[in-house]
Chain A
Amino acid sequence: MATMLKYEDKDLKVVGTRPIRPDGVDKVTGRARYGADINLPGQLYGRVVRSPHAHARVLAIRTDKAEALKGVKAVVTRDDFPEMPVEFAAAGELIVNFRDVTRNMMAREKVLYDGHPVAAVAATSDAVARRAARLIEVDYEVLPHVIDPVQAMAEDAPLLHEEQITEGVDPAPEKPSNLAKVFNFAKGDVEKGFAEADLVIEREFNTKPVHQGYIEPQASLASYTEDGQVEVYTATQGHFVIRAQCAKLLQMDISKIRVIPTELGGGFGGKNNVYLEPLAIVLSRKSNRPVKMTMSREDVFRSTGPTSGAHTRIKIGCRKDGRITAAEAQLDFQAGAFAGSSVPMASMCTFTRYDLENVKVTGNDITVNRPKVAAYRAPGAPISIFGVESILDEMAIELGIDPIELRMRNAAKEGTQTYYGPTFGPIGYEDTLKKALEHPHLKEPLGPDQGRGIATGFWFNIGKETTTTLNVNEDGTVTVILGTIDVAGGSRAAMAMMVAEELGIDVDRVRPQIGDTQALGFNFVTAGSRGTFASGMAVTVAARKAIDTMRERAARTWDVPVDGVVWEDGHARPASSNVGEFEPLSIAEIARKSGMTGGPIAGHAEITAEGAGPGFGTHIVDVEVDRKTGLVKILRYTVIQDTGKAIHPAYVEGQFQGGAVQGIGWALNEEYIYDENGTLQNPGFLDYRVPVASDVPFIGTEIVEVPNPNHPYGVRGIGEVPIIPPIAAISNAIHDAIGIRLREQPMSPPKVLKAIREAGNGAAE
C-alpha cells in the first residue's frame, strides 16, 4: 500500500520541543551496546586475510598451515561461497549486483584493490586468529592497476573486468573497458542555450575519494545452529537488507536468518551493505560456534566505504542579467572495484537547484582498483555541485551580481520541472536564499586574507518500505517497535514525539525501540534521509489505528456508535452532548480494561512511504588563508536549510552542524592517498585527517520550514543536504580571500600553498 498522509496545520504540544533522546542515558553511561560490544558464550574470533595488491590474479590459496594451528576452528575462502549470477538489488542509495557483492566480500578470480578479502579464519582467541591469518599463503599474479578515473578510461588502461561492456551507449562497444555505464540526462537544447548566452564558462574539477569516517569499525557476530538457523548481531543501517543479502549470497531462506541490529556507531551510508556478515555466518556454520568479527581501523579504510574520487567538466552559459541559458556537465566517477557509483544521483543533482530550460548531463561510472564505493551522505552530490557553484561564483563576480542574488534569479521553485523528470511541489530553496540575504553573517567584517563564500545544495530524499508496531501497554504507556534504524540522528526521539503528539500523551510515556528482523516486516535501509520522514509516517498510521481501536472500546463501554467518540488530549470523549454525558476515558483507563473490551490494543503500519519532500540548503562560510602555510581556517559558518518541519529542532541543528563539518573535512583535508603500487598510504586517523574540535568554529544554523504536504507533520529528509555545499562554499571563500580559485579537493595546506606560489601571489619562502 502506498501511503501519503496530508500535512495538517494544527496546534502542536510535543513536535517542535526538545526532549532528552530516549537512547541518551545509555550512551552517556557506556551501557549502549554497539557492534563490538556483543558477545556470546563460546564465541570464536574471526579475522580476514586481505590482498596486499591493488590488482592481481589469485592463482592459489593454501590454508593447511593455518588450519593446523592450535585453536583454529574454521577457515573460509572463495570455495566456501556459491557463484552468483548478475542480479541487481537496491541497497541504500546505490544499486548492488550480487555477482559483484559476493566477489567484494571474498575475492574470486582476482583481487581488485589493496585490502580485498581473500580468506577468513575463526579461532579461539583474536591473537590466534591473527596468527592464523598470517599463515594463509596466497599466490598472486600481480597485474597493472589503475586508480584515476580519467586514466582508467584510456584505451590501454589496465582492465578490471574482462567481460565488462559499457552499458548506456548505443551502439554498444565491441571491446570491454573500465567504463561500466554511461548515464545521460537531458532537457531542451544546450547548443541553442549556449548560443543565447552572453557569458559562457567551462571548467574542470577534481576530487579525491573520501571515507565516511564513522568512529565505530564494522563488527558482526553470527551464531549458526545445527538446524540451519542463524542469528546475526551487526552494526548496520539496514538489518533487513543485510538479511536479504546474506540469504541471497548464502542461498538460505530469509526466515532462517535473524539479524539483530546493535546500536550504530555512525554509518553515513557506509553501513548499508554486507562486509563481515556472510563471512561470520559461514565461519560459524563450519565451526559450530558463534563467531565474532571486528574490523581494525586499517581494515575499515582499506576495504569499506569510500565515496568516489571524480573528475568533472562543467559548462554554464548565462545572459548579462545572470539568467542561465544552458548548463552541461560530464561527471567521471570512480565506482571502485565494481560498477555502481553514485554518479546517477550526482548527475541528477548537478543543476537541480536551478530552473533551467537547457541541460545536458553525462555521468560515467568507471571501475578502478580501489574499494567498491559505498554511499556517503548525499552520495555524489557534493562532488557534482562543486564545479557548478564554483562557476556561478565566477559568473557573479564577472557580471557584478551578488552571488545569492544570482542564485535567486535562477532558483527552482514550486512548479519547476527537473531535467530528470519530476516537477517540484512546494520547496524551500528560495526561502533559504532569502534568509541568507538577510542573515547577520553577511554583515560580519572581513580582514586581510579573509573571504566569504556561499554555495547551495539539493537532495531528493526517499521514503520506501517501512513497518512499525505500536503497543498500548496495560497501564496506558506505549511502546513503539521500529524497523527503520536510528542511524544516530535521533529518529527514536522524533518517533516518540510524533506518537505522543498523535495520542495526546507525554513523550516520556512513549518508549521507542528498534525491532530485529523477526519482529517486523521489511524495512528499507536508513538512507536517503528517509528515517524521520518514512518512519514518522508509519508511526502516525499506527497511532491513528490504535486511536480508532480505543475509540471503539470507549464506544462499546458507553454503548454509543463509534462515530460518537472523538480522541482528544489522550482521552476518548463524546463527540457532542447529543451522544450522551460520559466522563472522558483516558488512554490508561481504556488500556486497563482492554482485556474485557476486546483484547490488547495495538496499531500497526506496513507501508511504502511516498512523497518525500526534496531538501535545499544554503551555506555561508568565512575563511582566513595563511599565506605562509597554506592553512585555511574556518572563521564563521552558517547553515540555512528547509526541513519541512523540525520535529526535534536540536537534532535538526545537529544534522546541519555534523553534515557541514563532514563537508569541511572533505573540502580541506580528507583524501585517499595511494602509492605507485596502488597501496593505500593513509589508512588511519592520524594520516586521514577528519576535522577535530579545534579545526572548526560554532556552526550557526537557521531552520526554514516549508512543510512537505505529503507528510502528516510536514517532514522532509534533512540529513544529507548539509554535506553538499561546503566544498564549493569554501573554495569560493578562498577565492574571495586571496583571489585564487581552487578547483581541486582537498584544499589542504600543501595544495593551497602550491597554488599561492604558482600564482606568485606574495607567498613567503
Chain B
Amino acid sequence: MARYHITTTINGDEVDFLCESDQTLLSVLRDELVMTGTKEGCGTGDCGACSVTVDGRLMCSCLVLGVEVEGKRVETIEGMAEGEELHPLQRKFLEHAALQCGICTPGLLIASRALLERNPDPTETEIRYWLAGNLCRCTGYHKIVEAVADAAREMREV
C-alpha cells in the first residue's frame, strides 16, 4: 500500500512522517513517531485520552487521520511544559492530587488548556461540561475540577 509523506508541525518542531491513508493521527504519534504521551483508551472518540489540538482546536487524535495534519500545527502533552517549567495546569494537577493512574491525565490537561485559552474564568459547570468528553475512572473528577479552577485563577493573575 502506498504511504503518504506528510509534513506538519508538532509542538513547534517541523516533523515529517509516512503513513497509510487510513492511519489515525493517534497511531502516527504513538507508532510512527513514538510519542506515547498521547494515550489510546477507546479508539472511537468516546474517552478523550488521545486529546490533542490541531491548529488550536481540541480533537480526539483517534478520529483524525494522519494525512489530515499536512501543514497543520499539532500540540500534544509532550509539548505542554516549557523547558523545565511545568504548565500551571500540570502543576495544579500535581498539587491538587488530581490524578491517580494518570492514563487520562494527558488528555485532560490538553482539554483543560484548550478550555482556558477560550475561557480564562470558567465556572464549575463550564469546566465540567467542557471536560465531559474526557473519561477518568479513578478520581471522580472532584480534584480535577478544583485543579483546573485553581490553574485558571493563577493564570488570570499573571
Provide the main secondary structure of the chain A interface.
loop
How many residues from B make CB contacts under 8 Å with A? 58
A696 x B141 contact (CB < 8 A): yes
Q: Which residue of A lies closest to B80 (CB)?
A: A29
Total CB contacts across the A-B interface at under 8 A: 180
Q: Does B78 contact A (CB under 8 A)?
A: yes
B103 x A20 contact (CB < 8 A): no
Chain A residues contacting B39 (CB-CB under 8 Å) are 34, 36, 215-216, 265
A217 x B40 contact (CB < 8 A): yes
Most buried by B among A213, A488, A648: A488
Binary CB contact string for chain A from 23 to 36 against chain B (1 if under 8 A, 0 otherwise): 11111111111101
Partner of A27 from B99, B124, B142 at Cβ < 8 Å: B99
25-81 of chain B: CB within 8 A of chain A: 30-31, 34-44, 46-47, 49, 76-78, 80-81
Chain B residues contacting A660 (CB-CB under 8 Å) are 140
Q: Which residue of B lies closest to A33 (CB)?
A: B36
Partner of A29 from B41, B77, B95 at Cβ < 8 Å: B77
Binary CB contact string for chain B from 115 to 154 against chain A (1 if under 8 A, 0 otherwise): 0000000001101110111111111111111000000000
Instruction: Take A662-B137, A684-B46 as given contacts and tell me if A693 and B99 are in contact as well, using a CB distance cutoff of 8 Å.
Output: no
A654 x B131 contact (CB < 8 A): no
A21 x B94 contact (CB < 8 A): yes
591-615 of chain A: CB within 8 A of chain B: none
96-116 of chain B: CB within 8 A of chain A: 96-97, 99-106, 109
CA distance A678 to B102 in the complex (A): 34
Chain B residues contacting A698 (CB-CB under 8 Å) are 124, 142, 145
B18 to chain A minimum Cβ distance, whole angstroms, is: 13
Partner of A265 from B37, B80, B101, B144 at Cβ < 8 Å: B101
Q: Does A694 contact B (CB under 8 A)?
A: yes
654-686 of chain A: CB within 8 A of chain B: 654, 657-662, 684-686
CA distance A28 to B145 in the complex (A): 15
Q: Does A233 contact B (CB under 8 A)?
A: no
Most buried by A among B46, B77, B78: B46
A700 to chain B minimum Cβ distance, whole angstroms, is: 9
Most buried by B among A18, A658, A661: A658
Q: Which residue of B lies closest to A20 (CB)?
A: B94
Q: Does A385 contact B (CB under 8 A)?
A: no
Chain A residues contacting B128 (CB-CB under 8 Å) are 693-694
Most buried by B among A37, A215, A696: A215
Q: Which residue of A lies closest to B148 (CB)?
A: A693
B142 x A216 contact (CB < 8 A): no
Chain B residues contacting A214 (CB-CB under 8 Å) are 101, 103, 137
How many residues from A make CB contacts under 8 Å with B? 61
CA distance A548 to B41 in the complex (A): 47
CA distance A201 to B147 in the complex (A): 46
A654 x B139 contact (CB < 8 A): yes
Q: Does A100 contact B (CB under 8 A)?
A: no
B112 to chain A minimum Cβ distance, whole angstroms, is: 11
Binary CB contact string for chain A from 693 to 708 against chain B (1 if under 8 A, 0 otherwise): 1111011000000000
Q: Does B8 contact A (CB under 8 A)?
A: no
CA distance A471 to B151 in the complex (A): 37
B92 to chain A minimum Cβ distance, whole angstroms, is: 10
Chain B residues contacting A487 (CB-CB under 8 Å) are 101
A675 to chain B minimum Cβ distance, whole angstroms, is: 20
Chain B residues contacting A212 (CB-CB under 8 Å) are 137
Partner of B41 from A20, A216, A488, A686 at Cβ < 8 Å: A216
Chain B residues contacting A650 (CB-CB under 8 Å) are 96-97, 143
Instruction: Take A296-B43, A692-B135 as given contacts and tell me if A127 and B140 are in contact as well, using a CB distance cutoff of 8 Å.
Output: no
CA distance A648 to B125 in the complex (A): 28
B47 to chain A minimum Cβ distance, whole angstroms, is: 5
B139 x A28 contact (CB < 8 A): no
Q: A215-B103, A216-B101, A265-B103 are in contact. List 6 more A-B contacts (CB 8 A).
A: A37-B30, A217-B40, A217-B41, A263-B101, A488-B102, A490-B100
17 residue pairs from A and B, CB less than 8 Å apart: A28-B90, A29-B81, A30-B78, A30-B106, A39-B34, A215-B101, A215-B137, A264-B101, A265-B39, A265-B102, A268-B137, A488-B102, A657-B142, A660-B140, A692-B131, A693-B144, A695-B132
- Residues of B in contact with A (beta carbons under 8 Å apart): 20, 30-31, 34-44, 46-47, 49, 76-78, 80-81, 86, 90, 93-97, 99-106, 109, 124-125, 127-129, 131-145
